[in-house]
Amino acid sequence: MNHYLELLSILILLSSFILAAAKRIISYIWIFRLQSFLLVIMAGYLGAVNFRKEGDIDILIICMVILVVKVIYIPRLLENTFAKVAYKVEKDFFLNIPISVLICCGLVMLSYFSIFPIDDLREGVMKTYLVNSISVILIGLFFMISRKKAIGQIIGFLVIENGLFIAALLSAHSMPILVDLGIFVDVLAGVMIMGVLVFRINENFESININKLRNLRG
């Protein structure tokens, strides 16, 4: 079981690198959808194992919620928001793509050297899980601050939440359903609010570049 989960965590981390190298806003949405689908596979596999061993269906329910919310609904909501704005390509990164990818590699190394010296973790594979999940969180945070378009920052926020979910799921191999459903409600509400803000920013400034907000300062 650990080999499959480790492979899926690596693929999710790889999708974060692909996101950091993407230029088009529509690519951000599709890569997030792919990452969330990999998360569905991970949760579904772990949920099936738990159901067979313990009869626990909590993770399977969470898997279905992820499928509906993160693979279907949120990407569709972002696509509808994207269709209403003028810009199709991120032309104004704070950092160019090669430097961004190198920084992402540095974040993975930072996670590795921070996690692997910890002796209290149960086994080596757990350290790998944590390195991969924390790297996804850090890359999501970096993605938020390295993009000037508001939709890119929404995607970064969602990637951070994916990384937190992976860390919690793989560390405990279980998840209290009420806690996670509460998180999903918060994430969904946050994305809907940010989607409205993106539309309003574009409507008022004819751009979704957040630097335009500096014009509001007196």
Q: What's the chain's Rg over C-alpha atoms?
A: 18
Report how far residue 128's alpha carbon sits from residue 9's, in angstroms, rounded to the nearest whole number: 9
- The predicted pLDDT at position 36 comes to 92
Task: Note the pLDDT tens digit of each residue in 164-179.
Answer: 888 888 876 665 555 5
- The predicted pLDDT at position 175 comes to 59
Task: Note the pLDDT tens digit of each residue in 22-58.
Answer: 888 888 899 999 999 999 999 888 888 888 887 778 7
- The predicted pLDDT at position 137 comes to 92
Report how far residue 35's alpha carbon sits from residue 144's, in angstroms, rounded to the nearest whole number: 16
Report how far residue 55's alpha carbon sits from residue 70's, in angstroms, rounded to the nearest whole number: 26
Do 116 and 60 meet the contact criterion of CB atoms below 8 Å apart? no
61 Cβ contact partners less than 8 Å away, ≥ 6 residues apart: 177
| Strand partners of residue 24 | 89
DSSP 50-79: HHHHH---HHHHHHHHHIIIIIIIHHHHHH
Which secondary structure element, helix H or strand E, spans residue 23, and what is its range?
none
Do 25 and 87 meet the contact criterion of CB atoms below 8 Å apart? yes
- The predicted pLDDT at position 1 comes to 61
- Measure Cα distances from 1 to 31, 44, 50, 178 in Å: 26, 12, 11, 26
Q: Give mean pLDDT in consecutive 10-residue pieces for the chain, a chain of 218 residues.
A: 83 94 87 93 87 80 86 86 63 77 94 81 74 92 83 85 85 61 61 61 54 53
